[in-house]
Amino acid sequence: MLQIGMLIYPSMFDIDLIGPQTFLSRLGDAEVFHVWKDRAPVVSDLGLAYQARHDFASCPENLDILFVPGGLKGTIPAMRDPAVIAFLADRGARAKYVTSVCTGSLLLGAAGLLDGYRVTSYWMVRDLLPLFGAELVKERVVIDRNRITGGGATAGLDFGLTLASVLRGEDHAKTLQLLVEYDPQPPFDAGAPERAPSSVAAGIRQRRADELQAAREAATAAARALGKV
């Protein structure tokens, strides 16, 4: 039975977790569980309370999949938390697949798990990945050996479907895709910074400038601890 450990943490983006889990919980013969440093409820970006099944000590030693969701507001303090980084480095070193969506890749990078790998991340922070020795690839989902990373937030659906295909084959993945009618038709074409109105992208960058600066500082500190900068 596959052991799939999904990190949860305060202020994580709900869609980053639920998107992938929509597919990963339907692989058959797989156990999907949430992991956090303790068993206190984890309050997400949407204000929902998630209860980890495992803490860092009880989490199985050998995971088939280690997954990390994003959500920048929560990713920043998690990057600075030695217990989180030590957990990811430990389980990531032995997991069959080391995976993330959105800013979750910053946590994998801070744990030293992306050095020398081609990876992607959320559009606003993806230029930070080279700090960790990773090579940025601007694609929706990037597979490099056993690292599978997705772009921002909603990329978790494409990520989950891709991972389902890797683990169970195309027929199973297509069955899951039809089961959840994943035939996306966004009413606008503003989901990538290259195609959104420039005022929209600039507005987001401006409103989140402080957060982006904090992310850069946390990533730089983590890279320094890894001896990368």
Q: How far apart are CA 192 and CA 67, in angstroms?
A: 23
Active site residue 102: yes
Q: How far apart are CA 198 and CA 217, in angstroms?
A: 26
Q: What's the closest the beta carbon of residue 163 comes to a copy of itself, in angstroms?
A: 10
Q: What's the closest the beta carbon of residue 208 comes to a copy of itself, in angstroms?
A: 9
Q: Which is nearer to a copy of itself, 165 or 220 (CB)?
A: 165
Residues that bind a copy of itself (CB under 8 A): 13-15, 18-19, 21-22, 25, 46-51, 102, 122-123, 140-141, 151-155, 157-158, 161-162, 165, 170-171, 173-175, 177-188, 190-193, 195-197, 199-201, 203-204
Q: Which is nearer to a copy of itself, 125 or 223 (CB)?
A: 125
Q: Which is nearer to a copy of itself, 141 or 223 (CB)?
A: 141
Q: Which of 68, 78, 102, 142 is catalytic?
A: 102
Give the H or E element holding residue 214. Answer: helix 209-225
Q: What's the closest the beta carbon of residue 38 comes to a copy of itself, in angstroms?
A: 17
Give the H or E element holding residue 104. Answer: helix 104-110
Partners of 97 in the beta sheet?
65
Quick one: residue 112, left, alpha or beta (phi over 0 = left, psi -120 to 50 = alpha)? Answer: left
- Find out whether 51 and 81 touch, Cβ atoms under 8 Å: no
Q: What's the closest the beta carbon of residue 45 comes to a copy of itself, in angstroms?
A: 8
Question: How distant, in Å, are the alpha carbons of 92, 170, 184, 200, 220 from that of 8?
Answer: 15, 28, 26, 29, 23
Q: Which is nearer to a copy of itself, 123 or 223 (CB)?
A: 123
The residues that are catalytic are 102
